[in-house]
């Protein structure tokens, strides 16, 4: 029985390794294809042929190419924030400032790194990731129900404030530096939160 158990475990591990490998191959193939042709013209067959896997393998991971694109964008953005934020990052000035700067820099760079056809998907994914991050941070500090504004609304407005300015800056030749714009966004968010929450949010100084 013990031998059978080890055999089953080995089979599971082998399956997991194959799944991770095929997932990596699909993502690498898609990224390569996006550099060669418009997103709209890329087919599932293009992706699977480039990755050298069959269609059933693709559909075991993703329902369509839009889900694959969404996964790649979110993973890249999450990795970016993880590389800049400390492990104990929370709803405080220092962490918010890091996020704001990262988003501004990333959006400016994305205009030159990402094909035009991908921008709408990129923008949607980033805004939703920001909302999720702020929502989690706010839940950690909202210990009572005295706030006039729901957490989800605060997270949504903060994420859209950063996202909106980042989009505008990426589309225009803004003379202000990333630091100057980051200072302005942070001031709007912090001062707004202080007025809408009892006693102000616990925003630690930088």
Phi, psi for residue 144 in degrees, rounded to 5: -145, 180
User: Residue 157 belongs to a domain with what CATH number?
Assistant: 1.10.357.10
Q: What is the pLDDT of residues 24-49, one digit of tens each?
A: 999 999 999 988 888 889 999 999 99
Share of the chain above pLDDT 90, in %: 37
Does residue 100 form part of some domain?
yes
Count of residues making up the chain:
206
* 121 and 154 co-located in one domain: yes
Same domain, 142 and 92: yes
Residue 79 shares a structural domain with residue 56:
no
- pLDDT tens per residue across span 85-116: 988 898 888 999 999 998 988 877 665 445 55
CATH code for the domain of 21? 1.10.10
Q: Does residue 5 surpass a pLDDT of 60? A: no
What is the arithmetic mean of pLDDT over 179-184?
89
Same-domain check for residues 54 and 72: no
Cα(128)–Cα(132) distance, rounded to whole angstroms?
6
The answer to whether residues 78 and 135 belong to one domain is yes
How many domains does the chain divide into? 2
Scored b (16 or more CB within 10 A) or e, 169-188 reads bbeeeeeeebeebbeebbee
**What tokens appear for 1 in the block?**
């029985």
Residue 203 within a domain: no
Q: How many helices (H) and strands (E) does the chain have?
A: 8, 0
pLDDT category of residue 121 using cuts at 50, 70 and 90: confident
CA–chain centroid gap for 57, Å, is: 25
The answer on pLDDT for 193 being more than 90 is no
Residue 196 confidence (pLDDT) above 80: no
Same domain, 122 and 136: yes
User: Is residue 53 located within the same domain as residue 71?
Assistant: no
Residues 101 and 166 in one domain: yes
Domain extent, residue 31, equals 2-62
165 and 108 part of one domain: yes
- CA dist 35 and 88 (Å) reads 37
- What's the mean per-residue pLDDT of the chain? 81
Same domain, 39 and 73: no
pLDDT above 50 (res 11): no
**Element spanning 152, H or E:** helix 151-171
Domain membership flag for residue 204: no
Lowest mean pLDDT among 46-50, 68-72, 195-199: 195-199
pLDDT tens digits, residue range 149-165?
888 998 999 999 998 88
Q: How far apart are CA 151 and CA 123, in angstroms?
A: 22
CA distance linking residue 48 with residue 57, whole number of Å: 8
Out of 62, 81, 99, pick the residue that ends a domain: 62
Residues 74 and 35 in one domain: no
What's residue 146's pLDDT?
67
- Interval 8-36 mean pLDDT: 79
Q: What residues have CB less than 8 Å from 49, skipping those under 6 apart?
A: none
Q: Are residues 176 and 118 in the same domain?
A: yes
């Amino acid at each position: 029985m013990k031998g059978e158990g080890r055999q089953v475990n080995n089979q599971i591990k082998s399956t997991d390794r194959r799944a991770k490998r095929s997932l990596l191959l699909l993502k690498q193939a898609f990224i390569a294809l996006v550099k060669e042709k418009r997103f709209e013209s890329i087919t599932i067959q293009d992706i699977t042929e480039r990755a050298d896997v069959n269609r059933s393998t693709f559909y075991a991971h993703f329902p369509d190419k839009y889900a694959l694109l969404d996964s790649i964008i979110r993973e890249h953005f999450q990795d970016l924030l993880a590389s800049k934020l400390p492990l104990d990052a929370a709803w405080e000035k220092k962490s918010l400032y890091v996020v704001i700067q990262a988003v501004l820099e990333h959006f400016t760079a994305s205009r030159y790194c990402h094909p035009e056809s991908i921008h709408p998907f990129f923008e949607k994914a980033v805004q939703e990731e920001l909302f999720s991050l702020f929502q989690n941070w706010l839940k950690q500090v909202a210990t009572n129900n005295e706030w006039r504004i729901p957490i989800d609304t605060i997270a949504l407005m903060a994420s859209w404030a950063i996202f909106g300015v980042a989009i505008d800056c990426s589309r225009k030749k803004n003379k202000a530096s990333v630091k100057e714009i980051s200072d302005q966004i942070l001031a709007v968010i912090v001062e707004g939160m202080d007025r809408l929450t009892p006693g102000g949010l616990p925003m630690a100084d930088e």
